[in-house]
Amino acid sequence: MNKQSINKLTLFLTGLQSRFTENNSIFKGIYISFFTGLKEFKGVGHYEDGKIKYNFNGRTEFFDIDSLFKKLMNDAEVYEVLSFIYKERGTDILITADNKNVKMTNTPVSEEELTTNNSSTQKQSHSFGETSTLLNRDYYIKAGKADALLKEIGIMSKEGKIKNDKIRKYNQIDHYVELLEGILDRLPKNQTVNILDCGCGKSYLTFVLNYYLTEVKKRKCHFIGLDYSEGVIEASKKMANNLGYRNMEFHAMDINNYMPDKKINVVISLHACDTATDMAMALGVRVNSDVIIAVPCCHRELLNQYSYEPFKGILKHGVFKARMADILTDGMRSLLLEAKGYEVSVVEYISPLETPKNLMIRAIKTKDENAAAMDEYFKLMSSLNVYPALYDYINR
Protein backbone atom coordinates (compact mmCIF):
# COMPACT_ATOMS: atom_id res chain seq x y z
CA MET A 1 0.00 0.00 0.00
CA ASN A 2 1.38 3.41 -0.90
CA LYS A 3 2.57 6.03 1.58
CA GLN A 4 -0.39 8.36 1.07
CA SER A 5 -2.89 5.65 1.97
CA ILE A 6 -0.74 4.51 4.89
CA ASN A 7 -0.73 8.06 6.31
CA LYS A 8 -4.51 8.35 6.10
CA LEU A 9 -4.94 4.89 7.61
CA THR A 10 -2.68 5.96 10.46
CA LEU A 11 -5.02 8.88 11.26
CA PHE A 12 -8.06 6.59 11.40
CA LEU A 13 -6.31 4.03 13.61
CA THR A 14 -5.10 6.79 15.94
CA GLY A 15 -8.73 7.82 16.40
CA LEU A 16 -9.72 4.24 17.17
CA GLN A 17 -6.85 3.96 19.63
CA SER A 18 -8.19 7.00 21.49
CA ARG A 19 -11.68 5.48 21.38
CA PHE A 20 -10.37 2.23 22.87
CA THR A 21 -8.41 4.04 25.59
CA GLU A 22 -11.46 6.14 26.49
CA ASN A 23 -13.82 3.19 26.93
CA ASN A 24 -12.38 -0.27 26.25
CA SER A 25 -15.13 -1.91 28.32
CA ILE A 26 -17.42 -1.92 25.25
CA PHE A 27 -14.75 -3.22 22.84
CA LYS A 28 -15.71 -6.58 21.34
CA GLY A 29 -13.05 -7.38 18.76
CA ILE A 30 -11.25 -6.61 15.51
CA TYR A 31 -11.47 -8.51 12.24
CA ILE A 32 -8.86 -7.87 9.56
CA SER A 33 -8.42 -9.04 5.99
CA PHE A 34 -5.32 -8.19 3.94
CA PHE A 35 -5.35 -8.89 0.20
CA THR A 36 -2.60 -9.33 -2.33
CA GLY A 37 -4.03 -10.26 -5.71
CA LEU A 38 -6.56 -13.02 -5.07
CA LYS A 39 -4.98 -14.14 -1.81
CA GLU A 40 -6.60 -13.17 1.52
CA PHE A 41 -4.83 -13.15 4.91
CA LYS A 42 -7.08 -12.91 7.98
CA GLY A 43 -6.51 -11.66 11.51
CA VAL A 44 -8.85 -11.73 14.53
CA GLY A 45 -8.38 -9.99 17.89
CA HIS A 46 -10.38 -10.19 21.14
CA TYR A 47 -10.00 -8.58 24.56
CA GLU A 48 -8.56 -10.94 27.18
CA ASP A 49 -7.10 -10.11 30.60
CA GLY A 50 -6.33 -6.49 29.78
CA LYS A 51 -4.69 -7.28 26.42
CA ILE A 52 -5.86 -8.03 22.89
CA LYS A 53 -5.37 -11.64 21.90
CA TYR A 54 -4.57 -11.43 18.19
CA ASN A 55 -4.33 -14.32 15.77
CA PHE A 56 -2.91 -13.73 12.30
CA ASN A 57 -2.07 -16.46 9.85
CA GLY A 58 -2.22 -19.11 12.58
CA ARG A 59 0.01 -17.28 15.05
CA THR A 60 -1.45 -15.94 18.31
CA GLU A 61 0.10 -13.10 20.31
CA PHE A 62 -1.01 -10.66 23.02
CA PHE A 63 -0.75 -6.90 22.40
CA ASP A 64 -1.72 -3.63 23.98
CA ILE A 65 -3.71 -1.43 21.59
CA ASP A 66 -0.73 0.75 20.65
CA SER A 67 1.51 -2.20 19.78
CA LEU A 68 -1.23 -3.96 17.85
CA PHE A 69 -2.01 -0.95 15.68
CA LYS A 70 1.70 -0.43 14.98
CA LYS A 71 1.87 -4.02 13.79
CA LEU A 72 -1.17 -3.48 11.57
CA MET A 73 0.45 -0.41 10.01
CA ASN A 74 3.63 -2.35 9.31
CA ASP A 75 1.65 -5.23 7.81
CA ALA A 76 -0.41 -2.86 5.64
CA GLU A 77 2.75 -1.68 3.87
CA VAL A 78 3.27 -5.09 2.27
CA TYR A 79 -0.32 -5.72 1.12
CA GLU A 80 -2.45 -4.09 -1.57
CA VAL A 81 -5.85 -3.90 0.15
CA LEU A 82 -7.07 -3.82 3.75
CA SER A 83 -10.53 -4.42 5.24
CA PHE A 84 -10.62 -3.70 8.99
CA ILE A 85 -13.66 -4.02 11.28
CA TYR A 86 -13.51 -2.61 14.82
CA LYS A 87 -16.47 -3.96 16.81
CA GLU A 88 -18.01 -2.34 19.87
CA ARG A 89 -21.23 -3.21 21.64
CA GLY A 90 -23.89 -2.03 19.20
CA THR A 91 -21.50 -0.53 16.62
CA ASP A 92 -19.27 -1.67 13.78
CA ILE A 93 -16.56 0.63 12.45
CA LEU A 94 -15.35 -0.42 9.01
CA ILE A 95 -12.12 0.84 7.44
CA THR A 96 -11.29 -0.08 3.85
CA ALA A 97 -7.98 0.92 2.30
CA ASP A 98 -6.15 0.47 -0.96
CA ASN A 99 -3.69 2.48 -3.04
CA LYS A 100 -6.43 4.84 -4.23
CA ASN A 101 -8.46 5.65 -1.14
CA VAL A 102 -9.08 5.02 2.56
CA LYS A 103 -12.65 5.12 3.90
CA MET A 104 -14.21 4.72 7.35
CA THR A 105 -17.89 4.09 8.09
CA ASN A 106 -19.68 3.77 11.44
CA THR A 107 -22.72 1.47 11.44
CA PRO A 108 -25.12 0.41 14.21
CA VAL A 109 -25.55 -3.37 14.18
CA SER A 110 -27.92 -5.90 15.68
CA GLU A 111 -26.72 -8.85 17.69
CA GLU A 112 -28.12 -11.22 15.06
CA GLU A 113 -26.01 -9.63 12.33
CA LEU A 114 -22.93 -10.75 14.23
CA THR A 115 -23.85 -14.41 14.26
CA THR A 116 -26.38 -15.24 11.53
CA ASN A 117 -26.98 -14.67 7.86
CA ASN A 118 -29.84 -12.73 6.32
CA SER A 119 -32.08 -15.72 5.76
CA SER A 120 -32.02 -16.83 9.41
CA THR A 121 -32.58 -13.24 10.54
CA GLN A 122 -35.67 -13.03 8.36
CA LYS A 123 -36.90 -16.32 9.78
CA GLN A 124 -36.41 -15.04 13.32
CA SER A 125 -38.26 -11.81 12.61
CA HIS A 126 -41.20 -13.85 11.31
CA SER A 127 -41.15 -15.99 14.44
CA PHE A 128 -41.16 -12.91 16.64
CA GLY A 129 -44.11 -11.46 14.75
CA GLU A 130 -46.19 -14.58 15.45
CA THR A 131 -46.27 -13.72 19.16
CA SER A 132 -49.59 -11.86 19.05
CA THR A 133 -49.83 -10.99 22.75
CA LEU A 134 -46.95 -8.50 22.67
CA LEU A 135 -47.96 -4.88 23.14
CA ASN A 136 -48.51 -2.69 20.11
CA ARG A 137 -45.66 -0.33 20.95
CA ASP A 138 -42.22 0.69 19.78
CA TYR A 139 -40.10 -1.23 22.26
CA TYR A 140 -37.03 0.38 23.80
CA ILE A 141 -35.36 -3.03 24.10
CA LYS A 142 -35.94 -4.31 20.60
CA ALA A 143 -35.98 -7.94 19.59
CA GLY A 144 -33.45 -8.43 16.82
CA LYS A 145 -31.00 -5.88 18.12
CA ALA A 146 -31.06 -7.03 21.76
CA ASP A 147 -31.40 -10.77 21.17
CA ALA A 148 -28.21 -11.75 22.99
CA LEU A 149 -29.40 -9.89 26.10
CA LEU A 150 -32.98 -11.20 25.90
CA LYS A 151 -31.76 -14.78 25.54
CA GLU A 152 -29.31 -14.48 28.43
CA ILE A 153 -31.98 -13.20 30.84
CA GLY A 154 -34.43 -15.87 29.70
CA ILE A 155 -36.97 -13.66 27.90
CA MET A 156 -36.25 -15.08 24.44
CA SER A 157 -35.86 -18.67 23.31
CA LYS A 158 -32.78 -19.97 21.51
CA GLU A 159 -34.83 -19.87 18.31
CA GLY A 160 -35.31 -16.11 18.64
CA LYS A 161 -38.93 -15.95 19.85
CA ILE A 162 -40.20 -14.12 22.94
CA LYS A 163 -41.36 -16.90 25.26
CA ASN A 164 -45.12 -16.88 25.88
CA ASP A 165 -44.67 -17.10 29.64
CA LYS A 166 -42.15 -14.22 29.58
CA ILE A 167 -44.15 -11.68 27.56
CA ARG A 168 -45.37 -9.93 30.71
CA LYS A 169 -41.80 -9.75 32.03
CA TYR A 170 -40.59 -8.37 28.69
CA ASN A 171 -43.26 -5.67 28.80
CA GLN A 172 -42.31 -4.82 32.39
CA ILE A 173 -38.59 -4.38 31.73
CA ASP A 174 -39.29 -2.28 28.66
CA HIS A 175 -41.66 -0.03 30.61
CA TYR A 176 -38.99 0.26 33.31
CA VAL A 177 -36.59 1.69 30.73
CA GLU A 178 -39.31 4.02 29.45
CA LEU A 179 -39.92 5.42 32.95
CA LEU A 180 -36.21 6.07 33.46
CA GLU A 181 -35.23 7.39 30.03
CA GLY A 182 -36.02 11.06 30.66
CA ILE A 183 -34.35 10.97 34.07
CA LEU A 184 -31.20 9.32 32.74
CA ASP A 185 -30.99 11.96 30.01
CA ARG A 186 -30.56 14.58 32.76
CA LEU A 187 -27.38 12.96 34.08
CA PRO A 188 -24.00 14.64 33.41
CA LYS A 189 -22.80 14.23 29.84
CA ASN A 190 -19.27 13.40 28.65
CA GLN A 191 -18.39 11.34 31.73
CA THR A 192 -18.93 7.84 33.03
CA VAL A 193 -22.33 7.33 34.64
CA ASN A 194 -21.93 5.06 37.68
CA ILE A 195 -25.05 3.10 38.61
CA LEU A 196 -25.37 1.18 41.88
CA ASP A 197 -27.98 -1.58 42.14
CA CYS A 198 -28.74 -2.38 45.78
CA GLY A 199 -30.14 -5.84 46.45
CA CYS A 200 -29.53 -6.62 42.79
CA GLY A 201 -30.58 -10.28 42.83
CA LYS A 202 -30.00 -11.72 39.36
CA SER A 203 -29.61 -8.17 38.05
CA TYR A 204 -31.94 -8.53 35.05
CA LEU A 205 -32.90 -4.86 34.99
CA THR A 206 -29.31 -3.81 35.53
CA PHE A 207 -28.31 -5.77 32.44
CA VAL A 208 -31.18 -4.17 30.53
CA LEU A 209 -30.11 -0.66 31.57
CA ASN A 210 -26.52 -1.50 30.68
CA TYR A 211 -27.57 -2.54 27.19
CA TYR A 212 -29.80 0.50 26.69
CA LEU A 213 -27.34 3.12 27.94
CA THR A 214 -24.33 1.59 26.20
CA GLU A 215 -25.68 0.35 22.89
CA VAL A 216 -28.71 2.57 22.29
CA LYS A 217 -27.89 5.86 24.03
CA LYS A 218 -24.11 5.49 23.47
CA ARG A 219 -23.37 6.64 27.02
CA LYS A 220 -20.25 5.59 28.91
CA CYS A 221 -21.44 3.82 32.06
CA HIS A 222 -20.36 1.48 34.84
CA PHE A 223 -22.61 -0.75 36.94
CA ILE A 224 -22.14 -2.05 40.49
CA GLY A 225 -24.40 -4.75 41.90
CA LEU A 226 -24.72 -5.51 45.62
CA ASP A 227 -26.49 -8.46 47.20
CA TYR A 228 -25.85 -10.49 50.35
CA SER A 229 -26.39 -13.76 48.44
CA GLU A 230 -23.16 -15.14 47.02
CA GLY A 231 -25.17 -17.42 44.75
CA VAL A 232 -26.97 -14.65 42.86
CA ILE A 233 -23.77 -12.59 42.70
CA GLU A 234 -21.94 -15.48 41.03
CA ALA A 235 -24.87 -15.90 38.64
CA SER A 236 -24.71 -12.21 37.74
CA LYS A 237 -20.96 -12.41 37.15
CA LYS A 238 -21.48 -15.37 34.84
CA MET A 239 -24.15 -13.54 32.85
CA ALA A 240 -21.92 -10.47 32.49
CA ASN A 241 -19.11 -12.68 31.22
CA ASN A 242 -21.42 -14.47 28.76
CA LEU A 243 -22.60 -11.14 27.35
CA GLY A 244 -19.15 -9.56 27.32
CA TYR A 245 -20.34 -6.72 29.59
CA ARG A 246 -17.03 -5.71 31.13
CA ASN A 247 -18.41 -2.47 32.56
CA MET A 248 -19.99 -4.32 35.51
CA GLU A 249 -18.87 -5.49 38.94
CA PHE A 250 -20.76 -7.47 41.57
CA HIS A 251 -20.18 -7.84 45.32
CA ALA A 252 -21.71 -10.19 47.86
CA MET A 253 -22.12 -7.89 50.85
CA ASP A 254 -24.52 -5.97 53.05
CA ILE A 255 -25.68 -2.67 51.57
CA ASN A 256 -24.83 -0.86 54.82
CA ASN A 257 -21.18 -1.93 54.56
CA TYR A 258 -20.59 -0.64 51.03
CA MET A 259 -18.17 2.27 50.62
CA PRO A 260 -17.96 3.54 47.00
CA ASP A 261 -14.58 4.40 45.54
CA LYS A 262 -16.11 6.56 42.80
CA LYS A 263 -18.89 9.10 42.37
CA ILE A 264 -22.27 7.34 42.30
CA ASN A 265 -24.74 8.94 39.90
CA VAL A 266 -27.71 6.59 40.23
CA VAL A 267 -28.85 4.28 43.03
CA ILE A 268 -31.57 1.79 42.13
CA SER A 269 -33.48 -0.71 44.22
CA LEU A 270 -36.10 -3.04 42.80
CA HIS A 271 -38.34 -5.00 45.17
CA ALA A 272 -35.80 -5.05 47.98
CA CYS A 273 -37.72 -6.46 50.93
CA ASP A 274 -38.95 -4.21 53.75
CA THR A 275 -36.15 -2.00 55.16
CA ALA A 276 -33.63 -3.07 52.48
CA THR A 277 -35.31 -0.41 50.35
CA ASP A 278 -34.54 2.10 53.10
CA MET A 279 -30.91 0.96 53.20
CA ALA A 280 -30.61 1.60 49.47
CA MET A 281 -32.25 5.03 49.66
CA ALA A 282 -30.14 6.02 52.64
CA LEU A 283 -26.98 4.99 50.82
CA GLY A 284 -28.09 7.13 47.88
CA VAL A 285 -28.56 10.14 50.16
CA ARG A 286 -25.25 9.61 51.97
CA VAL A 287 -23.23 9.41 48.73
CA ASN A 288 -25.14 12.39 47.30
CA SER A 289 -26.37 10.38 44.32
CA ASP A 290 -27.83 12.44 41.48
CA VAL A 291 -30.77 10.03 41.13
CA ILE A 292 -32.45 7.49 43.41
CA ILE A 293 -34.92 4.99 41.93
CA ALA A 294 -36.84 2.54 44.11
CA VAL A 295 -39.65 0.07 43.55
CA PRO A 296 -40.48 -0.95 47.15
CA CYS A 297 -41.67 -4.40 48.11
CA CYS A 298 -43.21 -5.46 51.43
CA HIS A 299 -43.92 -2.85 54.12
CA ARG A 300 -43.79 -4.37 57.59
CA GLU A 301 -41.88 -1.81 59.63
CA LEU A 302 -44.45 0.98 60.22
CA LEU A 303 -47.34 -1.46 60.48
CA ASN A 304 -46.19 -2.39 63.99
CA GLN A 305 -45.33 1.19 64.98
CA TYR A 306 -47.89 3.71 63.88
CA SER A 307 -51.07 4.79 65.58
CA TYR A 308 -53.36 7.74 64.95
CA GLU A 309 -56.17 8.44 67.38
CA PRO A 310 -58.57 10.20 64.93
CA PHE A 311 -58.49 7.05 62.75
CA LYS A 312 -58.91 4.62 65.64
CA GLY A 313 -62.32 3.44 64.47
CA ILE A 314 -60.98 2.75 60.98
CA LEU A 315 -57.61 1.25 61.82
CA LYS A 316 -59.16 -1.38 64.09
CA HIS A 317 -59.66 -3.35 60.87
CA GLY A 318 -56.40 -5.08 60.07
CA VAL A 319 -56.69 -4.78 56.29
CA PHE A 320 -57.17 -1.02 56.51
CA LYS A 321 -54.25 -0.63 58.89
CA ALA A 322 -51.98 -2.67 56.59
CA ARG A 323 -52.92 -0.65 53.50
CA MET A 324 -52.46 2.60 55.36
CA ALA A 325 -49.03 1.41 56.52
CA ASP A 326 -48.04 0.90 52.87
CA ILE A 327 -49.05 4.45 51.98
CA LEU A 328 -47.44 5.99 55.05
CA THR A 329 -44.18 4.10 54.51
CA ASP A 330 -43.70 5.19 50.89
CA GLY A 331 -45.18 8.62 51.55
CA MET A 332 -42.73 9.33 54.37
CA ARG A 333 -39.86 7.96 52.27
CA SER A 334 -40.77 10.40 49.52
CA LEU A 335 -41.10 13.30 51.94
CA LEU A 336 -37.71 12.62 53.54
CA LEU A 337 -36.07 12.50 50.12
CA GLU A 338 -37.63 15.90 49.40
CA ALA A 339 -36.22 17.16 52.69
CA LYS A 340 -32.78 16.00 51.55
CA GLY A 341 -33.01 18.10 48.40
CA TYR A 342 -34.54 15.69 45.91
CA GLU A 343 -37.35 16.37 43.46
CA VAL A 344 -39.61 13.35 43.91
CA SER A 345 -42.27 11.77 41.71
CA VAL A 346 -44.23 8.58 42.42
CA VAL A 347 -45.72 6.60 39.53
CA GLU A 348 -47.29 3.21 38.94
CA TYR A 349 -44.56 0.94 37.61
CA ILE A 350 -46.91 -1.79 36.38
CA SER A 351 -50.64 -2.46 36.60
CA PRO A 352 -52.03 -2.96 40.14
CA LEU A 353 -53.84 -6.00 38.69
CA GLU A 354 -50.46 -7.75 38.49
CA THR A 355 -49.22 -6.79 41.96
CA PRO A 356 -50.24 -4.21 44.57
CA LYS A 357 -46.49 -3.47 45.09
CA ASN A 358 -46.39 -1.46 41.89
CA LEU A 359 -45.12 1.99 42.84
CA MET A 360 -41.89 3.51 41.61
CA ILE A 361 -40.29 6.36 43.57
CA ARG A 362 -38.09 8.57 41.36
CA ALA A 363 -35.90 11.17 43.05
CA ILE A 364 -33.59 13.68 41.36
CA LYS A 365 -31.16 15.79 43.39
CA THR A 366 -31.89 19.50 42.81
CA LYS A 367 -30.83 21.32 45.99
CA ASP A 368 -29.02 20.84 49.30
CA GLU A 369 -31.87 20.74 51.80
CA ASN A 370 -35.59 21.55 52.08
CA ALA A 371 -36.21 22.81 55.61
CA ALA A 372 -40.00 23.01 55.23
CA ALA A 373 -40.22 19.38 54.11
CA MET A 374 -38.03 18.31 57.03
CA ASP A 375 -40.28 20.16 59.51
CA GLU A 376 -43.30 18.42 58.03
CA TYR A 377 -41.51 15.08 58.30
CA PHE A 378 -40.73 15.61 61.99
CA LYS A 379 -44.37 16.51 62.68
CA LEU A 380 -45.51 13.27 61.03
CA MET A 381 -43.03 11.24 63.07
CA SER A 382 -44.49 12.78 66.22
CA SER A 383 -48.17 12.54 65.34
CA LEU A 384 -47.91 8.96 64.09
CA ASN A 385 -45.52 7.85 66.85
CA VAL A 386 -43.06 6.33 64.36
CA TYR A 387 -39.30 6.23 63.84
CA PRO A 388 -38.82 5.17 60.20
CA ALA A 389 -35.84 3.07 59.16
CA LEU A 390 -34.88 5.47 56.36
CA TYR A 391 -34.37 8.31 58.81
CA ASP A 392 -32.37 5.99 61.08
CA TYR A 393 -30.09 4.74 58.28
CA ILE A 394 -29.43 8.23 56.93
CA ASN A 395 -28.38 9.54 60.34
CA ARG A 396 -26.18 6.67 61.49
The answer to whether residues 258 and 361 belong to one domain is: yes
At 123, is the pLDDT very low, low, confident or very high (cuts 50, 70, 90)?
very low
The answer to whether residues 98 and 245 belong to one domain is: no
At 271, is the pLDDT very low, low, confident or very high (cuts 50, 70, 90)?
confident
Query: Is the pLDDT reported for residue 117 higher than 60?
Result: no
Which of 140, 164, 188 delimits the end of a domain? 164
Query: Is the pLDDT reported for residue 189 higher than 90?
Result: no
Query: What mean pLDDT comes out for the span 165-184?
Result: 90
The answer to whether residues 99 and 115 belong to one domain is: no
The answer to whether residues 76 and 204 belong to one domain is: no
The domain that holds 300 is classified in CATH as: 3.40.50.150
Residue 19 has a pLDDT of 92
Q: How do residues 276-308 score in pLDDT, each as one tens digit?
A: 899 999 999 999 999 999 998 877 889 989 999
Which of 144, 164, 184 delimits the end of a domain? 164
Query: Is the pLDDT reported for residue 119 higher than 50?
Result: no
- Tell me which residue range forms the domain holding 158: 111-164
The answer to whether residues 127 and 245 belong to one domain is: no
Query: Is the pLDDT reported for residue 127 higher than 90?
Result: no
- CB atoms closer than 10 angstroms to residue 260: 14
The answer to whether residues 122 and 103 belong to one domain is: no
The answer to whether residues 48 and 154 belong to one domain is: no
Query: Is the pLDDT reported for residue 130 higher than 60?
Result: no
Task: Return the minimum-mean-pLDDT range out of 94-103, 111-120, 193-202, 314-323.
Answer: 111-120
Query: Is the pLDDT reported for residue 133 higher than 70?
Result: no
Residue 156 has a pLDDT of 94
Which of 164, 192, 208 delimits the end of a domain? 164
The answer to whether residues 150 and 171 belong to one domain is: no
Residue 388 has a pLDDT of 95
For the chain, the domain total comes to 3
Mean pLDDT of the chain: 89
The answer to whether residues 29 and 133 belong to one domain is: no
Residue 148 has a pLDDT of 94
Q: Which residues contact 318 (CB under 8 A, 6 or more apart)?
A: none
The answer to whether residues 136 and 95 belong to one domain is: no
At 65, is the pLDDT very low, low, confident or very high (cuts 50, 70, 90)?
very high
Percent of all residues in the chain with a pLDDT value above 90, rounded to a whole number: 75
Interatomic CA distance for residues 213 and 199, integer angstroms: 21
The answer to whether residues 220 and 365 belong to one domain is: yes
**What's the length of the chain?**
396
The answer to whether residues 332 and 245 belong to one domain is: yes
Q: How do residues 331-341 score in pLDDT, each as one tens digit?
A: 999 999 999 99
Residue 116 has a pLDDT of 40
Residue 67 has a pLDDT of 95
Residue 349 has a pLDDT of 76
